Amino acid sequence: MAIADLHAHTTASDGTFTPRQLVERAHQNGLAAVAVSDHDTTAGVAEAQAAGRELGVEIVPGIELSTVFEGKEVHVLGYYYDPNHPALVELTTKMREDRVNRMEKMVVKLQEAGIDITREEVQAEAQGAIGRPHFARVLMKKGYVSSMPEAFDKYLGYGKPGYVSRMKVTPVEGVNVILEAGGVPVVAHPGLIGKDYLFDELVPHGLAGLEALHPDHDDEQRKHYLALAEHHGLIATGGSDFHGAGAEHRGELGSVNVPLDVVRRLQEKSAYLRSQKG
């Protein structure tokens, strides 16, 4: 059966594989399709598509927007959008600028907590949009922690010494921008949010899917979110949330996957949404 991984990151944000390397790994792992879903940027998609044409791997254009709901991070995935749509370009530009400002504040907070870290060290880890995993890699290299989860637990997670809140974008705003750009909005890893009533708010605004299958979901959560997707009439998606080196706890690219039919449903939904816009 042809399979797809609908959640993967590249060096355009906080992954360690270039877009081409990601596609090469997808090809090696027998994936028919892979989504490039970097945080708050579409910069890696074109390179991946070029590699995909060469290697025979279908590339699903994706993005993962960082939003906040009741003090909790909610990531909204978008698929098959227009990357040049003004609303999407404006929002992602502001979000990437906020990431730089956030990085500078995090460096200061960590230094005040006695951590030997500099802006230059973090920037050296980041080829694209800067995120907390880049801080985690510096902390690992300098021996403060031994893993990515430990870095978040000790220094980078909510309420920890290096935590700085991000730009306040709501999930509704994220969903609306993806829809405006002709894309299909999907809530990522809902098990990490733990607020199922969020879907009661987002579905009327046009939410089209939820990521039922994710490496941080156990079997019971997967069953629960598959049922919740059916209840709300949403497309159930899934992916490995692959980041490459340093995030091995998430598993290999394609270790969480969905049938290629799910890709076709996303394409059909995007085509329908665009037709409704006239």
**Which of 84, 65, 83, 87 has its CA nearest to residue 74?**
65
The answer to whether 10 and 24 are in contact (CB under 8 A) is no
Alpha-carbon span 103 to 119, nearest angstrom: 8
Q: Which residues contact 217 (CB under 8 A, 6 or more apart)?
A: 189, 191, 225
Q: What tens-digit pLDDT sequence spans the chain (278 residues)?
A: 899 999 999 999 989 999 999 999 999 999 999 999 999 999 999 999 999 999 999 999 999 999 999 988 899 999 999 999 999 999 999 998 998 898 999 999 999 999 999 999 998 888 777 889 899 999 999 999 999 899 999 999 989 999 998 888 999 999 999 999 999 999 999 999 999 999 999 999 999 999 999 999 999 999 999 999 999 999 999 999 999 987 777 889 999 999 999 999 999 999 999 898 76
**Cα 73 to Cα 52: distance, rounded to the nearest angstrom:** 31
201-227: burial string, b at 16+ Cβ within 10 Å, e else: ebbeeebbbbbbbbbebeeebbebbbe
Q: In 139-195, at which residue ranges do the beta strands (DSSP E only) sit?
A: 184-187
pLDDT the model gives residue 278: 65
* pLDDT of the residue at 22: 98
* Contact indicator for 151, 139 with CB cutoff of 8 Å: yes
Give the domains, in start order, of the chain with CATH numbers. 3-80+168-276 (3.20.20.140), 93-156 (1.10.150.650)
Burial, 160: exposed, middle or buried (Cβ in 10 Å; 0-12, 13-18, 19+)? middle
Q: What share of the chain is helix, strand, coil (3-state, %, to 5)?
A: 45, 15, 35
| DSSP for residue 274 | H
* Number of Cα atoms under 13 Å in the Cβ half of residue 234: 28
Is 138 in contact with 145 (CB distance < 8 Å)?
Answer: no
What is the reported pLDDT for 246? 74
Report the b/e string of 127-144 with b at 16+ CB within 10 A. bbbbbbbbbbbbbbeeeb
